[in-house]
Amino acid sequence: MGYANIHLQALTSRYKIERIPASLGLQVVDQDMGDEVRTVYSLSGGESFLVSLALALGLASLSSSRMKVESLFIDEGFGSLDPTTLNIAMDALERLHNQGRKVGVISHVQEMTERIPVQIKVSKQQSGKSKVEVISV
């Protein structure tokens, strides 16, 4: 939980992740609301995405002599973010990339294409097949 909260703090200072006592479940402390404890089910789409991203980044931070997480793939979720939060999430992913980690993102959010230098574009063709292009911006 420690690594996830470090990443969550970098994304937003509003939330902190905790384990639900005597269980494996998670809850979120909303520090802007007087440390109100919230279930993960009460989070909006954007809030849920940030917490999930922090958990994934926390997992990527775990390393040992036997295991090193060098790649992170994120499938969607960016469409639920407002422009400011999208920028914060992209900054976090760029920091990971700059640390030498491979970051793959699946998204339909047009604004992201300006910040992702190498893209794999998959287009549906009339024949029922798909066309794959690698684009370097």
- Mind listing the pLDDT tens digit for each residue in 58-113? 887 776 556 777 788 888 778 888 888 888 888 888 888 888 888 888 888 888 88
The neighbouring-strand residues paired with 36 are 30
* Residue 114: strand, helix, or coil: helix
Supply the range of the domain harboring residue 95: 2-136
Segment 103-131, tens digit of pLDDT = 888 888 888 888 888 999 999 999 889 99
- Total domains present in the chain: 1
pLDDT value, residue 93: 84
Domain CATH for 46? 3.40.50.300
